[in-house]
């Protein structure tokens, strides 16, 4: 009996040391990167340790892979698309965002997506009347700061703008005064989601009181609009197709989270880069003056701004809206990161790392970490070539690529053009010791500048 107990104790200790301890060590390292606002850089340290861009990345209770290899990403997003899902890895989002189309597989994903696709056609996202009206409060804040000579943080203003725009697009009217409460609740909820993601298959055990309160506030925000007759075409399309109110609420929250955060973050990163490179900012302003002048920009005018589009592409390369996403095989699958194939079991998570992919020196050159928009103008086919090689994926590719890509691009470019027309220029303001040249990120699935975007405004 003592021998049996000893053997059992040794076995349990071995399991603890071989499985739990490594996860605890990794969690400790991740928490360090979170504390220093450097989380998107963490996978790069793992690739360096393994000397490979496809490496083991187990989560508690399950094996897994982490990859920044174009061929592996292509396999999971396109070549094996019908045999790959997302729902298992995104389950931790469901308490906050519901089981919406970005968290579902099969018909529960494809049906609502097919219904909503026509809402994101080029004609539907090319009218700027709504955006222009929603920009007026932002301009009021900017011009007041310019008059007083005070510095202003543009990041929260961009978040308010994109939240109003997204709720108007989805629900028929801007968020208005309710937006701040919703945004705070969503941010609080996402902090808990991020933590629960580190728990692997045990994500469901994390439900502290603050998380529950945030869930109630987020759900209540959408319910407020669903009870009104002003709900927009997005909601009406889903309800008319037979989706339940619970399903519609989840689809709205999924799309609201993706649309609001990604566009606001991209706006913030564009300005963050420009105020650190006066030479590039001057070229953008000159192009705006030459193409648009003082007129309101049109879709055609935005398309003519080649250098501005290069600046946007370079921003999306260095700061993709979603730096890391997940896939899992629905059946046995093989990926080829190099000469030796890797066989994946059903449900084995694979994490696709766009952030590192976009900064690989072997793909982008020795200056891959530098902000150099000129790289996009040196070869007219550069964007098409890098996308075809699965090296440039700011909005994803394949069947689950972003429906709102053109809406996001138009919103960012229009907003920057109008801001340039309103003020004489933007100067960088250093508010904290951390706000130096080393980039820092918010701890969000859609990272924005970690210290905000503080600027002074020229006359």
What residues have CB less than 8 Å from 137, skipping those under 6 apart?
160
3-state secondary structure the chain: CHHHHHHHHHHHHHHHHHHHHHHHHHHHHHHHHHHCCCHHHHHHHHHHHHCCCEEECCECCECCEEECCHHHHHHHHHHCHHHEECCCCCHHHHHHHCCCCCCCCCHHHHHHHHHHHHHHCHHHHCCCHHHHHHHHHHHHHHHHHHHHCCCEEHHHHHHHHHHHHHHHHHHCCCCCCHHHHHHHHHHHHHHHHHHHHCCHHHHHHCCCHHHHHHHHHHHHHHHHHHCCCCCCHHHHHHHHCCCCHHHHHHHHHHHHHHHHHHHHHHHHHHHHHHCCCHHHHHHHHHHHHHHCCCCCCCHHHHHHCHHHHHHHHHHHHHCCCCCEEEEEECCCEEECCCCCCEEECCCCCEEEEHHHHCCCHHHHCCCCCCCCHHHHCCCCCHHHHHHHCCCCCCCCCCCCCCCCHHHHHHHHHHHHHHHHHHCCEEEECCCCCCCCCCCCECCCCCCCECCCCEEEEEC
**Structure token pair of residue 57:** 């990345």
Mark the binding-site residues for heme, compressed into ranges: 402
Radius of gyration of the chain (CA): 23
């Amino acid at each position: 009996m003592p021998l049996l107990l000893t053997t059992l104790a040794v076995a349990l200790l071995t399991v603890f040391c071989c499985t739990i301890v490594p996860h605890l060590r990794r969690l400790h390292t991740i928490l360090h990167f979170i504390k220093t606002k450097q989380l998107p850089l963490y996978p790069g340290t793992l690739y360096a340790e393994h000397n490979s861009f496809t490496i083991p990345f187990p989560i508690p209770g399950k094996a897994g892979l982490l990859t920044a290899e174009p061929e592996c990403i292509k396999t999971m997003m396109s070549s094996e698309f019908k045999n790959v899902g997302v729902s298992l890895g995104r389950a931790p989002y469901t308490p906050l965002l519901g089981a919406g189309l970005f968290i579902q597989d099969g018909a529960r994903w494809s049906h609502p997506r097919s219904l909503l696709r026509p809402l994101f056609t080029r004609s539907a996202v090319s009218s700027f009347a709504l955006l222009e009206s929603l920009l007026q409060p932002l301009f009021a804040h900017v011009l007041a700061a310019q008059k007083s000579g005070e510095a202003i943080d543009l990041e929260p203003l961009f978040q308010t703008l994109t939240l109003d725009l997204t709720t108007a697009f989805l629900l028929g009217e801007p968020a208005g005064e309710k937006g701040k409460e919703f945004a705070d609740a969503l941010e609080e909820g996402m902090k808990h989601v991020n933590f629960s993601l580190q728990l692997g298959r045990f994500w469901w055990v994390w439900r502290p009181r603050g998380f529950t309160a945030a869930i109630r506030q987020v759900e209540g925000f959408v319910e407020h609009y669903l009870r009104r007759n002003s709900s927009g075409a997005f909601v009406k399309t889903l309800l008319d197709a037979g989706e339940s109110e619970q399903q519609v609420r989840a689809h709205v929250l999924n799309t609201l989270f993706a649309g609001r955060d990604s566009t606001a973050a991209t706006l913030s990163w564009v300005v963050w880069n420009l105020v650190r490179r006066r030479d590039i900012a001057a070229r953008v302003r000159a192009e705006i003056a030459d193409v648009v002048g003082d007129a309101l920009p049109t879709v055609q005018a935005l398309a003519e701004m080649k250098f501005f589009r290069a600046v946007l592409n370079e921003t999306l390369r260095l700061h993709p809206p979603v730096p890391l996403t997940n896939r899992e095989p629905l059946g046995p699958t093989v990926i080829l990161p190099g000469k030796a194939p890797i066989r994946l079991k059903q449900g084995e998570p694979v994490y696709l790392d766009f952030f590192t992919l976009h900064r690989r020196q072997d793909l982008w050159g020795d200056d891959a970490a530098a902000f150099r928009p000129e790289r996009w103008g040196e070869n007219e086919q550069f964007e098409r070539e890098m996308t075809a090689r699965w090296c440039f994926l700011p909005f994803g590719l394949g069947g689950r690529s972003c429906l709102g890509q053109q809406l996001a691009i138009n919103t960012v470019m229009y907003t920057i053009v109008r801001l340039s027309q309103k003020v004489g220029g933007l100067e960088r303001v250093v508010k904290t010791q951390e706000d130096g040249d080393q980039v820092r990120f918010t701890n969000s699935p859609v990272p924005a500048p970690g210290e905000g975007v503080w600027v002074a405004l020229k006359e």
